[in-house]
Structure 1
Amino acid sequence: MAGGVRVGKGTALMANEVIPQHTTQPLPSGSQIPEKSNHQKVVEYENEKVFAVKRKARAAKDRAVMG
């Protein structure tokens, strides 16, 4: 266990192996933040089963508050 981090999936790392970090370079000082592209604006959709369970829980909570 490297650095107190535990990985539940994937290939085990060797004791001295480090995963390369994929980071974006910071914007230059004073520059404008670019608008999001259509690709960046895509919304993540929930699994239909998860959505149904959340809807059911919300309805039960609403009934408990009103009743």
Structure 2
Amino acid sequence: MGTKEQLKEERDRIVKGLEETYRKLVIFKKSKKSPMIVVRNGKIVEVDANEILPTTSYKRSAGTLPNS
């Protein structure tokens, strides 16, 4: 397996871990009835955790990493 493949596998594992962490955070915030603090359009805002989906997908923009 080449370096590129290894980096892709590692990146995929990191992304899955971040998605799982986000899912657990939303569940925790809902259980505590605590708002999520997020950045929307460059501003910090509170969002009711019940308005947030417990899943999200990582979407990488084109050109964010060299040689991707």
Tell whether the structures are fold-level matches, with TM greater than 0.5. no
* Pair member with larger Rg: 1
Higher strand fraction (1 or 2): 2
Higher helix fraction (1 or 2): 2
